[in-house]
Amino acid sequence: MKGGEERKKEGVEGSNEERGDGEEEGELEQGGGGMGGNIAKVFQSAPVRRALFIGCLLQLFQQISGINTVMYYSASIISMAGVRDQSQAIWLAAATSSVNFFGTFIGLWLVERVGRRSLTLGSLLGSTASLLVLALSFQMAYIHSPDVLVPSTTDDCQASNCGVCTSRSECGFCFIGEMSVSGVCANKTILEDDFAVFAYDWCPYQYAWISILGLGLYLAFFSPGMGPMPWTINSEIYPGWARSTCTSITTAVNWASNLLVSLTFLTLTEVLLKHGAFYLYMVLAAVGFLTFYFILPETRGIST
Quote the strand ranges of the chain, DSSP E: 147-150, 172-175, 182-186, 197-199
Mean local confidence (pLDDT), 162-182: 77
Given a cut of 80, whether residue 61 has pLDDT beyond it is yes
Q: Which residues of 184-211 are buried (b: 16+ CB within 10 A; e: fewer)?
A: bbbbeeeeeeeebeebebbbbbeebebb
* pTM value > 0.85: no
Is 1.20.1250.20 the CATH classification of the domain at 2-129+212-295?
yes
Confidence (pLDDT) at 304? 45
What Cα–Cα distance (Å) separates residue 182 from each residue in 56, 109, 146, 202?
A: 49, 51, 5, 14
Confidence (pLDDT) at 132? 98
* pLDDT band of 159, cuts 50, 70, 90: confident
Mean of all residue pLDDT scores within the chain? 84
Tens digits of residue pLDDT in 42-60: 999 999 999 999 999 999 9
* pLDDT band of 6, cuts 50, 70, 90: low
Residue of 258, 221, 196, 215 lying closest to 89 (CA atoms): 215
Confidence (pLDDT) at 162? 84
Task: State the Cα–Cα distance between residues 129 and 87, nearest whole angstrom.
Answer: 29
Domain limits, the chain: 2-129+212-295, 147-199
Q: Considering the chain, what percentage of its residues have pLDDT values greater than 70?
A: 81
**3-state DSSP call for residue 73?**
coil
What Cα–Cα distance (Å) separates residue 196 from each residue in 88, 132, 176, 190, 260?
A: 20, 33, 5, 12, 37
Mean local confidence (pLDDT), 269-286: 95
